[in-house]
Amino acid sequence: MITPNDPMIPQQYRIRQRQQDNADTFTLELEPTNGTVLQFAPGQFNMLYVFGVGEIPISISGNPATPSKLVHTTRSVGTVTNAMSTLKTGDVIGVRGPYGKSWPVMQSTGRDVVIVAGGIGLAPLRPAIYQLFAKREQFGKLVLLYGTRTQEDILYRQELEQWRARFDVDVYVTVDRATSDWRGNVGVVTNLIPRTPFYPPDTVAMVCGPEVMMRFTVQALQKRGVPTEQIYVSMERNMKCATGFCGHCQFGSTFICKDGPVFSYDQVESFIGMWEV
């Protein structure tokens, strides 16, 4: 039997705004057709359904303080995301969620917070950044390290510039490859970790990006002295039901959709990097 609150039934959302962030990445701002506002926590994801094509998990990248604007940033990399990229303002999309565990923003009160994002990994971290800014006085040093492929791939460039102009956050951006017109940092994001000001034993780190980037980042954070249990990562696997029933996203003894996607690193350390998992 289907009830209106069935977690497997998508609700209809209309595209209020569409923005092309860079060559293959776009952001959709959605509004519910029935007026129901979706409350969410930073780091959670929704299942987005392009009717007639398929459903995919996408992290929420908007501000949790303004949930009436449901924002998702997506990279066109497959059948569903390619179809989604062709949708226009006014088109309708299916949404179910939000699902998953969130970034430990409020558990980081009184500590330094280091955000490390790689590529589109900045999108799932942006809600946490908004929340940290909203309660800025409750945290110690706030550091954002962002690495991406080239200067053309930088996500939320305007916002990064605004954040960088603040006096209460250290923002460092680096690119893996650059031409001579780029005056910023060049090199992998892990290079930034030894350079930045924070007190490792009392730091919470939130890391999101490609899995291999996260592994190297965690090593650099550990080398700097951040305790493993204070390092959080957002994992990706092939999520289907998003409620822990189907088993598609099983990762060792956990389900990414239900027990994650955000994990403290000590929860996943024994599985991460294992070919078999």
Partner 1 sequence: MKMIKELIHDYAFFRGLTPEYQELLAGCGSNVRFNPNEFIFREGQPADKFYLIRHGKVSIDVYMPQRGIVTIETIGEGEVLGWSWLFEPYQWHSDARALVLTRAVAFDGQCLRDKCDADVAFGYDIVKRFAQIIIHRLQATQLQNLDVYSLQKRGP
Residues that bind partner 1 (CB under 8 A): 54, 56-59, 74-75, 77-81, 118-121, 124, 148-149, 153, 174, 176-180, 182-188, 190-191, 194-195, 209-210, 212-213, 216, 236, 238-239
Q: Residues with Cβ < 8 Å from 233, sequence gap 6 or more?
A: 207, 208, 214, 218, 262, 263, 265, 268, 272
* Least distance in angstroms from the C-beta of 138 to partner 1: 30
With respect to partner 1, which residue has the nearer C-beta, 145 or 213?
213
The residue written with tokens 């929340």 in the block is: 131
* Least distance in angstroms from the C-beta of 58 to partner 1: 6
* Least distance in angstroms from the C-beta of 18 to partner 1: 18
With respect to partner 1, which residue has the nearer C-beta, 133 or 243?
243
CB–CB of 62/85 below 8 Å? no
* Least distance in angstroms from the C-beta of 187 to partner 1: 4
* Least distance in angstroms from the C-beta of 218 to partner 1: 13
**Between vectors from CA 167 to CA 204 and to CA 114, what angle results, nearest 5°?**
15
With respect to partner 1, which residue has the nearer C-beta, 49 or 163?
49
How long is the chain? 277
With respect to partner 1, which residue has the nearer C-beta, 192 or 231?
192
With respect to partner 1, which residue has the nearer C-beta, 92 or 178?
178
CB–CB of 99/48 below 8 Å? no
Q: Residues with Cβ < 8 Å from 200, sequence gap 6 or more?
A: 221, 224, 225, 226
Give the pair of three-digit tokens for residue 252. Answer: 């060792």
Give the pair of three-digit tokens for residue 53. Answer: 């094509």
With respect to partner 1, which residue has the nearer C-beta, 139 or 198?
198
* Least distance in angstroms from the C-beta of 109 to partner 1: 29
Q: Residues with Cβ < 8 Å from 1, sequence gap 6 or more?
A: none
* Max intra-chain CA distance, the chain: 62
With respect to partner 1, which residue has the nearer C-beta, 135 or 177?
177
Amino acid symbol at 92: V
* Least distance in angstroms from the C-beta of 183 to partner 1: 6
What DSSP string describes 211-255?
Answer: HHHHHHHHHHHHHHT--GGGEEEE-----SSSSSSS-TTEETTEE
